[in-house]
Amino acid sequence: MSALRLSHFQALLLFALLVSIALGVLSRRAPKEQVKYAARSLFWFLIIGIGIGWLMYPFSR
């Protein structure tokens, strides 16, 4: 099987999405609360991931 090729952002997005859904479903009871928690978690995963990426940018070359 040939290796799956994803960009850094695609990998981050898929990871954040799947982990956020699982955390939301496991940590909250009401469906509405689960969706809210997953959305908030996804948002912070992306913001912090991209933020850390930019912080490391000066050291990458």
Residues that bind another protein (CB under 8 A): 1, 3-6, 8, 11, 14-15, 18-19, 21-23, 25-26, 29-31
In the chain the beta strands, taken as DSSP E runs, fall at: none
- To another protein, the closest distance from the beta carbon of 28 in angstroms equals 8
How far is CA 4 from its chain centroid?
A: 19
Amino acid at 9: F
- To another protein, the closest distance from the beta carbon of 58 in angstroms equals 19
Using the minimum distance from each CB to another protein, give the nearer residue, 30 or 55.
Answer: 30
Tell which phi-psi region holds residue 4, choosing left (phi > 0), alpha (psi between -120 and 50) or beta: beta
- To another protein, the closest distance from the beta carbon of 4 in angstroms equals 4
